[in-house]
Structure 1
Amino acid sequence: MNFWPGFYALQSAWYLLLLVPLLIFYFLKLKRPHQRVPSLALWSQVINDRRVNSPFQKFKRSILLLLQILLLLFLVLALMQPYVQSGAERAEYLPILIDCSASMAATDSQSGKTRLDLAKERVSELIDNMLPDQRLSLVAVSSTARRLTAFTDNQRVLKKALTDLAVDDVPSQLEDALRMTQALSRTAPIKSVLFYSDGNFPREVDFELPFDLNFQLLPAAGANIGITSFNARKNQAGNWDVFIRIENSRQADSPAEVELLQDGTSIAKEEVILGSGDSQRLEFSVAADKESRLEAVLNPGSHDSLAADNRAFLTIPQSRSLLIYIDPELASYRYALADNQEFLVYPQENNSTTPPEFDLIIGSTEKDLAKPGLVKLGIGFIPEELNKLITLENNLTDVVDWNRSSSLLRHVELADVQISQQPVWLENANVEDLEALGYEVLIHGRLGPLLLQKRTAGELEFYFLFNTDRSTMPYRVGFPIMVSNLIQLTLQEAGISEAQAAATPVLPPLALQPESQYEIVTPTGHELRAESDDNGRVSGIAALHTGEYTVSGAGADNTKISVSLLNPLETSLVAVEEIQFSEVPVTATEAQIDSDKPLWGEFAFIAFLLLLGEWWYFQKRPAGTIS
Structure 2
Amino acid sequence: MSWPGFSALMNAWWFLLLVPLIIFYFLKLRRPRFDVPSLALWRQVVNDQRVNSPFQKFKRNLLLLFQILLLCSLIIGAMQPYLSRGAEQARFLPVLIDNSASMAALDGPNGKSRLDDAKEKVSKLIDDLLADQRLCLISVNSTARKLTDFTDNKRVLKDALAQLDVTQVPSRLEDGLRLAQAMSRVQPIETVVLISDGNVPADIEFELPFKLNFQKLGPGGANIGIVDFNARRSRTGWDVFARIEATQQKDDSRNGPPTARSLCEYELLQNGQSIKQESVSIDGGRAERLVFKVPTTIAASLELRIKPDGFDSMTTDDVAYLELPAPRQLTVFCPRSMETYRNALENLPDILLFPGDSDEPKAVDVKFAEGPIEIGPESRVTFHVGFVPDELSKLVELVSGQSEVVDWRRTAPLLQHVQLLDVQIADDPKLEKGVGERDFEVAGYEILAQSRSGPLILERDRDGRLDYHFLFHSDRSSLVYRVGFPILVQNVIQIAAQRAGLLDAKAHGTGTLPPQRITPDTAVQVTGPNGYTESATSDKNGFVSGLGAPYVGTYEMTGAETPLKLGVSLLSSSETGLSTVDVLKFPEVPVHAAATVLKTDQPLWRWFALGGLCFLLVEWWYFQKRPSGVPA
Q: Say yes or no: TM over 0.5.
A: yes
Given residue 429 of structure 2, which amino acid in structure 1 is its aligned partner?
A: W
Alignment of 1:300-339 (within 5 A): 300-327=308-335, 336-338=344-346
Q: Which moved more, 1:604-613 or 1:117-126?
A: 604-613
Equivalent position to 1:539, from 541, 545, 556: 545
Alignment correspondent of 1:584? 589
Aligned AA (2:300): S
Does 1:492 pair with 2:498? yes
In the alignment, structure 1 residue 82 sits paired with structure 2 residue 87: no
Q: Once the two structures are superposed, what CA deviation does each residue of 1:260-284 show, in whole Å capped at 9, x if it has no partner?
A: 1111111112322222221122111
Structure 2 distance, partners of 1:499, 1:312, is 13
Q: CA–CA distance in 2 between the matches of 1:427 and 1:588?
A: 50
Q: Distance in 1 between matches of 2:604 and 2:389?
A: 77
From 283, 288, 298, give the equivalent of 2:306: 298
Partner SS, residue 140 of structure 1: strand
SS in 2 for 1:524: helix
Measure the CA separation in 1 of the matches of 2:20 and 2:370. Answer: 105
Whether 1:425 aligns to 2:424 is no
Paired residues of 2:361 and 2:377 also in contact (CA < 8 A): no
- Per-residue deviation, residues 319-360 of structure 1 (Å, max 9, x unmatched): 112223445576665555557652333455xx3544443323
- Identity of paired residues, percent? 44
Distance in 1, matches of 2:384 and 2:28, equals 110
Bigger drift between 294-303 and 61-70 goes to 61-70
State which of 466, 478, 482 in structure 2 corresponds to 1:471: 478
Say whether the 8 Å CA contact 1:82–1:598 is kept in structure 2: yes
Structure 1 letter corresponding to 2:383: L
The equivalent residue for 1:206 is 205
Distance of 2:443 and 2:193 partners within structure 1 = 44
Retained in 2: the 8 A contact 1:423–1:447? no
Deviation of 1:225 after TM superposition, in Å, equals: 1.6
RMSD: 3.9
2:40 corresponds to? none
**SS at 2:511's partner residue?**
coil
Instruction: State the 1:191 CA deviation.
Output: 1.6
Structure-2 change in CA distance of 1:142 and 1:436 (3 Å):
closer
Consecutive unaligned residues of structure 2, counting only runs of 5 or more, are 38-44, 250-257
Distance 1:21 1:374 in 2: 86
Measured in 2, the distance between the counterparts of 1:183 and 1:434 equals 30
Query: 1:467 corresponds to which letter in structure 2?
Result: S
1:495/1:109 Cα in 2 relative to 1: closer, same or farther (>3 Å)? same
CA pair 286-69 structure 1, distance change in 2 beyond 3 A? same
Describe how 1:372-391 pairs up with structure 2 within 5 A.
372-378=378-384, 381-382=386-387, 385=390, 389-391=397-399
User: Aligned AA for 1:248?
Assistant: A
Is this contact kept in 2: 1:208–1:582, CA < 8 A?
yes
Once the two structures are TM-superposed, the CA of residue 113 in structure 1 deviates from its matched residue by: 1.5
SS at match of 1:389: strand
2:572 to 549, 567, 574: 567
Q: C-alpha separation between the residues in 1 aligned to 2:223 and 2:294?
A: 28
State the shift of 1:546 in Å: 2.0
Partner amino acid, structure 1, of 2:316: A
**Is residue 427–residue 476 contact of structure 2 (8 Å, CA) maintained in 1?**
no
Partner AA of 2:428 in structure 1:
V
Matches of 1:418 and 1:80, distance apart in 2:
85
- What secondary structure does 1:583 align onto? coil
SS in 2 for 1:520: strand
In structure 2, what is the equivalent of residue 34 of structure 1? 34
Partner residue, 1:42: none
CA distance in 2, matches of 1:31, 1:522: 86
Which of 510, 528, 549 is equivalent to 2:516? 510
Deviations 1:240-295 (A, max 9, x none): 11111112222164321222111111111232222222112211111222221111
Structure 1 residue runs of 5 or longer lacking an equivalent are 38-45
Contact 1:520–1:527 (Cα < 8 Å) also in 2:
yes
Q: For the Cα contact (< 8 Å) 2:202–2:581, is it kept in 1?
A: yes
Contact between 1:16 and 1:73, CA under 8 Å: does it hold in 2?
no
Letter in 1 for 2:493: I
Q: SS at the partner of 1:261?
A: strand
The answer for the alignment partner of 1:43 in structure 2 is none
Task: Report deviation, 1:126.
Answer: 1.2
Matched, 1:270 2:275: no
Shift of 1:231: 1.0
Inter-CA distance 89–346: structure 2 relative to 1 (3 Å threshold):
closer
Contact 1:399 1:414 (C-alpha < 8 Å) held by counterparts: yes
Picking from 611, 614, 623, the partner of 1:606 is: 611
Distance change in 2, residues 1:233/1:172 (3 Å) = same
Deviation (angstroms), 1:100: 1.6
Q: CA deviation at 1:553?
A: 4.0
Greater shift, 248-257 or 459-468, is seen at 459-468
Q: Normalized against structure 1, the TM-score is what?
A: 0.85
Structure 1 residues 529 and 65, CA, compared in 2 at 3 Å: closer, same or farther?
same
Distance in 2 of aligned mates of 1:185 and 1:446:
49
> In the superposition, relative to structure 1, how do residues 329 and 6 fare at CA in structure 2: closer, same or farther (>3 Å)?
closer
Inter-partner Cα distance in structure 1 for 2:209 and 2:462 = 38
Give secondary structure in 2 for the equivalent of 1:309: helix
Does the C-alpha gap of structure 1 residues 389 and 70 become closer, same or farther in structure 2, counting only changes over 3 Å? Answer: same
* Aligned 8 A contact 2:214 2:592 in 1: yes
Q: Residue 3 and residue 305 in structure 1: after superposition, are their counterparts in 2 closer, same or farther (change >3 A)?
A: farther
Secondary structure of the corresponding residue to residue 453 of structure 1: strand
Structure 1 residues 408, 5: CA separation in 2 closer, same or farther (over 3 Å shift)? closer
Cα drift, residue 540 of structure 1: 0.7
How many aligned positions are there?
612
> Normalising by structure 2, what TM-score?
0.84
Q: Distance in 2 between matches of 1:365 and 1:71?
A: 91
Which residue of structure 1 lines up, in the alignment, with residue 15 of structure 2? 15
Q: Could you report, residue by residue, the CA deviation over 1:572-609 in whole angstroms, capped at 9, with x for unpaired residues?
A: 21111111212111111142111111111122123324
- The 3 A distance-change label for structure 1 pair 497 and 258 is same
Question: Which amino acid is 1:602 matched to?
Answer: W
Letter in 2 for 1:507: L
Cα 1:267–1:255 change in 2 (3 A) is same
